Amino acid sequence: MTDLHIHILPGLDDGADSWEDALEMAQMAVESGVEIMAATSHANLPEGNRKQYRESERYLGVLEQFQKLLAREKIPLRVCGGMEIFAVGDYLERLLKGELLTLNQTSYVLAEFPMDCQAAMIYRAVQQMEQAGYRPVLAHPERYLCVQQVPAHVYEWYTMGAVIQMNKGSLLGRFGERSRRTADSLLRHGLVCAAASDAHRPYIRTPRLEELWETLADRYGERTAWLLLEENPARILAGRSIRKEQPLPYDYS
């Protein structure tokens, strides 16, 4: 499997606290069937979270150190670069300058938004990223209040070209019932393109993906599990077009 979204690099954000935690998370991921992951540290967060803000130069140094540790410890895991970018302010300008990083140096951008943002903010960001030549990957939209209220927004973003990334914890009920119901709705409408752990620790929000695979396969079919946890994440990290299903529109008539 390929984990497209994980906070495993220590010292950069609210993810792993130490190299020991990072290595434990890596081992857990491998044991659950993960072979490749994108180490997507938070980037360009608002001023209130300034301590989590890091430039690409520092990020790449930590990533290189982690890759060396994995090799030394003989943990068979490929870790690619990338950031979870807060899609506000001058983020596009900073992407173009290389101050913020895409997923594995491709045109795919993992973008997040405030949990209580207006849907218009996401519509605008999707359009802006595509006009700049990027392919937006929307991180966990099932957790956004505007989507929980009107999931049909995701159908529109999907048809605009956005990639929809769902969190493991959402489907498994670990972010509350509203997130779980919204994740289920998006899956049943064929709108989810990739699933990921969004793991932060080896003991909470962990990188284990076997339960997610089993849940997806049991409820939505083996093909869905394969598409969301293997095929599409691997295609994204290779810079290739993903496989998209024909979605079901929401009918509010």
- The tens digit of pLDDT for each residue in 117-159 reads 999 999 999 999 999 999 999 999 999 999 999 999 999 999 9
CA distances in angstroms from 43 to 18, 113, 164, 228, listed in the order given: 19, 12, 19, 24
- d(CA 11, CA 120) in angstroms, rounded, equals 33
DSSP-derived letter for residue 47 is G
In the chain the beta strands, taken as DSSP E runs, fall at 2-6, 36-39, 41-43, 78-80, 83-86, 108-112, 135-139, 163-167, 194-196
Q: What is the dihedral of CA 89, 8, 19, 81, to 10 degrees?
A: -70
- d(CA 180, CA 169) in angstroms, rounded, equals 8
* pTM score: 0.94
Predicted local confidence at residue 208, as pLDDT: 97
Lowest mean pLDDT among 55-59, 225-229, 238-242: 55-59
Residue 232: pLDDT band (50, 70, 90) is very high
Q: Read off the pLDDT of each residue in 232-253 and give the average, rounded to a whole number.
A: 91
Predicted local confidence at residue 160, as pLDDT: 97
- Phi and psi torsions of 56, nearest 5°: -65, -30
Q: Read off the pLDDT of each residue in 211-234 and give the average, rounded to a whole number.
A: 98
Angular region, 204: left φ>0, alpha ψ -120 to 50, beta rest: beta
- Residue 35 pLDDT more than 80? yes
Gyration radius from the chain CA atoms = 17
Q: What is the pLDDT of residues 151-206, one digit of tens each?
A: 999 999 999 999 999 999 999 999 999 999 999 999 999 999 999 999 999 998 99
Length in residues, the chain: 253
Predicted local confidence at residue 46, as pLDDT: 75
Q: What is the pLDDT of residues 45-55, one digit of tens each?
A: 775 444 444 57
- Residue 210 pLDDT more than 70? yes
Higher pLDDT among residues 42 and 54, named by residue:
42
Beta bridge partners of 117: none
Predicted local confidence at residue 47, as pLDDT: 58
Q: Read off the pLDDT of each residue in 10-16 and give the average, rounded to a whole number.
A: 93
Q: What is the pLDDT of residues 45-88, one digit of tens each?
A: 775 444 444 579 999 999 999 999 999 999 999 999 999 999 99
